[in-house]
Amino acid sequence: MSGRLLGPLSMLVLVALYTGVGRDPVAALVLGPLALLPALLPWRLRLGLVPQALLSLALLALAAVLVRVLPGPQLPFRGVMGPLVPFLAMGSILIASHRLLLDEPAGGDRATAAHGFWCLVACGSQRAALPYVLGCALYLALASAWLRGPSHPWALGRHRGWWAAILALSAALAGLFAWVIPRAHARVVGWLIDSTTTQIGLQDGPLELGSLAGLADSDRVVARVFHFQGDPLLRGVVYQEYARGRWIARPASLARSLPIQGAGGPVELRYEPTELPRFLLPLAARQLLLNTPSALVDGFGVVAPIYGTSAQWARYEPAPREQLDPEPPRPVDLQLPEKQRGRLTALARLWVEGAVSPEEQLRRIKDRLQAEHPYATSFQRPPGVDPLLAFLETPGSGGHCEYFASAAALLGRALGIPTRLVGGYRLTEYNRAGGYHVVRERNAHAWVEAHLEGRGWVSVDTTPPASLEVAGPAETPWLWGWLDAVRTRSNEGLQWVLDNPSALGVGLGPVVVFIVGRDLWRRWAARRGGRGPGYLERVEAPLPWLQRLLEALAREGLERGGSEPLEALARRVEAARAGDPAAGLLRGYAALRYGGEGDEGALRAAVERHLAERGAQRSMAE
């Protein structure tokens, strides 16, 4: 294969490597066609050093725009350079690909290969193990063959071993750096942060009544819900014990590994990798079908993947569960903090005065909370006071969902209603372009599950509607919606290809056949046109007789620059010695190589005569 094909193939390897380690199919859709352009276009650009530099800067700016506009990788890159990886990878691929379109890129082909090398280093911040090693090896092999080809004067030659060692060492250092930095960061953070620091967000550990301002700003996608109907509250963690502003999650019973034998349903959830290993599901979900045949189920009915697996997708029917139900209430579901029991009981009776049924009592608590307390994510509490009591007993004090849910849970317990606090996510955002709901970290939510006679456990959300404004727009903005929809559908296609590998050959086969066939056809056409075998290769590289002319000019102080066009050298020759035939011979060679004009045999004979005359003149001068 010619260098014209090997170069773009090496760029495609870089695109595939970045897409694979970051799971960013949208970037592949953008960068893939750009990487193939040098193989599809028959012409090459001729630019000077300044235009090449400006074009490279423009491509770096384009990479920055793509990083800003595109959804980004699904797997965040680790290490100190993690946030810069998309920009570095896209920038290096764009610059290396455009250099393949240049007739004489600055620095030659070695510099082009070096730009691809930076993409390898950037992708090394993701611990992708075997795929990363294979990608580096394949790029190295293609780049070595491409630079070694007879059509490229900048062959690696005896330096190929050094390039291989540099690439391997850089990949190893990048992997080591990515492994060491996150662990060192975690260790330092562990030293500096006190264990009593307020925790925020959805987590397995204790839940503190703190500020959710940080989590409310996070756009990170947690899940996508297709064909949604039923309960919008997706359960993650159930808490039972409250003390001094902190909820503790204690298992109702040990989680058991149970087979999941449901037939599935119309609602489908697709989960992104999160730090909370859960199948986020509503309380009312039956006919459950998961991506694993079995799962861990605890006494709260929370479903988690078993060891060695991950939550990828779930399908269910929105109806009361026929299996995996939460266990009946226990004494802890009526437990109140001893020091606050009297104040909570008095407040609860005042608020529900005249209400008899638990349903009516919970409704009055909800109405009173929403009437007297605004929703807020940032606030101050007096020190030394239980934050929940400070919230309840201070008229007009604000709080977020954890405060409203905690107040409803404890006031309900004061009235003899078994309650639990549940942390999870609430569906609020719909992507109209993709036809599905999007769940983000800012949609983290807390609510109450109360046990009612004859109905079992039911969800009670007491948070004011104003919280929906903090959760983000009701609909995904159209641009971001289309980009997320493209990525989501691309993932579906990628998964289908992985499940059907033969389809990859069917899809890529015609492209490879076209490129290789076109190359063979051009070679055949060149031979038929009388230009002789190997004409294409010869016109792409300096011919021996031209090389001798360049060497003769160099001995006389007119050495050609590394990327200097032949026309520019011809102008320098004329400026140094007016009427020098070498200038015309250089222009004739450029017309033959780039435009197919002139006769190679006649031009070679003219160069040979000129070299002989030049040698004779030099001998006489000596």
Sign (positive/negative) of CA torsion 132, 138, 141, 142? Answer: negative
Same domain, 256 and 338: no
| Residue 265 in tokens | 């349903």
Residue 267, strand partner residues? 316
Q: What is the pLDDT of residues 559-571, one digit of tens each?
A: 887 667 788 888 8
Q: How confident is residue 532, by pLDDT bands cut at 50, 70 and 90?
A: very low
User: Based on the domain organization, do 390 and 465 belong to the same domain?
Assistant: no
- For residues 591-614, give the mean pLDDT: 79
Cβ atoms of 245 and 208 closer than 8 Å: yes
**Each residue's pLDDT tens digit, 110-152:** 788 887 877 777 776 555 556 677 777 778 777 776 664 433 3
The residue among 79 and 431 whose pLDDT is bigger is: 431
In a domain, 129, yes or no: yes
170 and 79 within one domain: yes
Is 150 among the domain residues? yes
E strand or H helix at 248:
strand 246-248
Structure tokens at 299: 């006494």
Pairing, β 246-248 against β 241-243: antiparallel
Looking at the structure, tell me whether residues 102 and 18 fall in a common domain: yes
CB 64, CB 95: distance < 8 Å: no
Four-residue CA torsion sign, 87, 93, 98, 103 = positive
Question: Is residue 432 domain-shared with residue 408, that is, in the same domain?
Answer: no
Dihedral pair phi/psi, residue 231, rounded to 5°: -75, 125
**pLDDT higher than 80, residue 304:** yes
DSSP 434: T
- First-to-last alpha carbon distance for the chain, in angstroms, is 48
Give the domain-ending residue among 419, 436, 456. Answer: 419
pLDDT of residue 150: 39
Least confident of 71-80, 106-115, 522-531: 522-531
Whether 530 maps to a domain, the answer reads: no
Q: What are phi and psi of 539, to 5 degrees?
A: -75, -15
More confident residue, 483 or 297: 297
Check whether residue 394 and residue 255 sit in a common domain: no
Indicate whether 341 and 320 sit together in one domain.
Answer: no
The answer to whether residues 414 and 430 belong to one domain is: no
Residues 6+ positions from 16 with CB-CB distance below 8 Å: 28, 135
Rounded CA-CA distance 297/325 in Å is 9
Do both 122 and 221 map to the same domain? no
Domain-terminating residue out of 355, 388, 419 = 419
Q: Is 371 exposed, middle or buried (0-12, 13-18, 19+ CB in 10 A)?
A: exposed
Verify that 407 and 443 share a domain, yes or no.
no
Residue 195: its pLDDT value, please?
Answer: 35
Counting the structural domains of the chain, the total is: 4
- Please report whether residue 494 resides in a domain: no
Out of 133, 154, 187, pick the residue that ends a domain. Answer: 187
**DSSP letters of 88-137?**
HHHHHHHHHHHHTTBSS-TTHHHHHHHHHHHHHHHHTTS---HHHHHHHH
Quote the domain boundaries for residue 551.
542-621
Please report whether residue 194 resides in a domain: no
Task: Give kind and range of the element (H or E) at residue 317.
Answer: strand 313-317
Which residue from 311, 309, 299, 204 is spatially nearest to 256, judged by alpha carbons? 299
More confident residue, 448 or 143: 448
Which CATH number fits the domain that encloses residue 350?
3.10.620.30
- Structure tokens belonging to residue 206: 């204790």
The residue that leads in pLDDT, 153 or 20, is 20
Same domain, yes or no, for 552 and 610?
A: yes
> Which pLDDT does position 125 carry in this prediction?
56
Token reading at 270: 């697709």
Asked whether the beta carbons of 405 and 373 are under 8 A apart, the reply is no
Residues 292 and 336 reside in one and the same domain: no
Q: In this structure, is residue 481 part of a structural domain? A: no
- Mean pLDDT over 441-461 rounds to 91
DSSP symbol at 308: T
Helices (H), 449-543: 467-470, 478-499, 501-528, 535-540
Beta 313-317 vs 286-290: how paired, if at all?
Answer: antiparallel
Which pLDDT tens digit goes with each residue over 347-360?
999 999 888 899 99
Window from 333-337, 387-391, 615-619 with minimum mean pLDDT:
615-619
Q: At what angle do helices 581-595 and 566-576 cross, to 10 degrees?
A: 170
CA dist., res. 421 & res. 408, Å (int): 9
- At 158, the pLDDT band (50, 70, 90 cuts) reads very low
Q: Which of 41-55, 365-379, 533-547, 604-618 has the highest mean pLDDT?
A: 365-379
Range in 30-34, 503-507, 573-577 the model is least confident about: 503-507
C-alpha span between 279 and 260 (Å, rounded):
12
pLDDT of residue 508: 57
The helix (H) or strand (E) run that includes residue 223 is strand 221-226
Neighbours of 507 (CB within 10 A): 10
Confirm whether 495 is domain-assigned: no
